[in-house]
Amino acid sequence: MRETHHHLDLSSRPRRNRRTPAIRGLVRETSLDASHLIYPLFVQDGETQPIESMPGQKRWSLDDLIGEVKRAHDMGINAIVLFPKVPHEHKTETGEHAYDPCGLAQRAIQAVKQNVPEVCVITDVALDPYNCDGHDGIVSPTGEVLNDETVAVLCKQAISHADAGADIVAPSDMMDGRVAAIRAALDHAGHTNVSIMSYTAKYASAFYGPFRGALDSAPRSGGSGKPIPEDKATYQMDPANQREALRELELDEAEGADIVMVKPAGPYLDVIAKMREVTTLPIAAYQVSGEYAMIKAAAATGGLDEQALVIETLTGIRRAGADMVLTYFAPQVAEWLS
């Protein structure tokens, strides 16, 4: 007896475009490549140490940092961002060490550019690693994080990074007007070719905990006796707000940002997508330490596949509209993709 096939009368069958790996590859809308990734690296004076809050990550010594940058570059990672862990004796209320030409960040920039010159070096411009109060800006005697006074220091910090050889400075402080001020300061100092990647929409997020542990940069009393804000909500953005990000974007564009950023990435895909609709500038998104730690913890249970999780989350960030992603998984992803 002949088998009969019942066919639905369908004018369209989307599954035809999913039938084989070759066809799926042809119609794939979003690509993920090592060239889209930026590798954040922690550096310290002294020996390399593992970071307990971020399994697999380290605070690199200067020598070991060079080896790690070379390893990542060999795998196709062409950009890094540096975060220095500054000893307590160099921390002050006004963060002068931020623009010390012999500072750790400045020496790290020089070392990378001397040894792996083809790698794009991005630097963090903010005072929290240098401020004994643990804030991105200068805290007044009454406990206010001062905007304009902070921006003046950030300009000196950006110039010192450019002097050391940074390709891109990335102000992460969320002070008002800092992009215009840094652009003017860089230009005046002869660094017209140094780019600004602005942390345009940096949210006051609960996802930063492991990072602050890695750098010992959480808000705290520096012993001055003045009131210290417990969080960064007066300058970082409210997680409930989306339109406000577009206002920040408009300002950063007008002030001369070359690249704009959303941080964190995963919980703010809607913000990335909204910004993609209205700007022609490249968009960066930062898959932050808490996102990294969550994936690591989930994979450690054995119930979830780390590689699949990482590729899916990064593809989602790209699909939302990010041109580039800062991720601690960068070298692993480059290895998987190859």
pLDDT at 104: 97
This prediction's pTM: 0.95
pLDDT at 1: 63
Supply 110's token pair. Answer: 């020089």
Closest by Cα among 299, 282, 301 to 291: 299
- The residues, any chain, with a CB within 8 Å of residue 165's CB and separated by 6 or more, are 109, 110, 112, 113, 121
H helix or E strand, kind and range, residue 335? helix 330-337
* 70 part of the active site: no
Q: Where are the domains of the chain?
A: 31-337
Closest by Cα among 269, 105, 291, 122 to 206: 291
CA distances from 294 to 93, 190, 240, 333 (A): 33, 43, 21, 17
pLDDT at 224: 64
Question: Taking the CA of residue 67 as centre, how many other CA atoms within 13 Å lie in the half-sphere pointing to its CB?
Answer: 7
> Which residue has 């140094």 as its token pair?
194
From the list 202, 232, 274, 296, the catalytic residue is 202
Q: For every one of its 338 residues, what pLDDT tens digit does the chain have, with 9 covering 90 and above?
A: 666 778 899 999 999 999 999 999 999 999 999 999 999 999 999 999 999 999 999 999 999 999 999 999 999 999 999 999 999 999 999 999 999 999 999 999 999 999 999 999 999 999 999 999 989 999 999 999 999 999 999 999 999 999 999 999 999 999 999 999 999 999 999 999 999 999 999 999 999 987 777 777 677 765 667 899 999 999 999 999 999 999 999 999 999 999 999 999 999 999 999 999 999 999 999 999 999 999 999 999 988 999 999 999 999 999 999 999 999 999 999 999 99
Q: Which residues, in sequence order, are bridge partners of residue 145? A: 139
Q: Which residues, in sequence order, are bridge partners of residue 286? A: 326
pLDDT at 287: 98
Overall fold of domain 31-337: TIM Barrel (3.20.20)
pLDDT at 220: 73
pLDDT at 2: 66
- Answer whether the bond into residue 129 is a cis peptide, omega within 30°: no
Do 247 and 268 contact (CB within 8 A), yes or no?
no
From the list 58, 85, 232, 263, the catalytic residue is 263
* 156 part of the active site: no
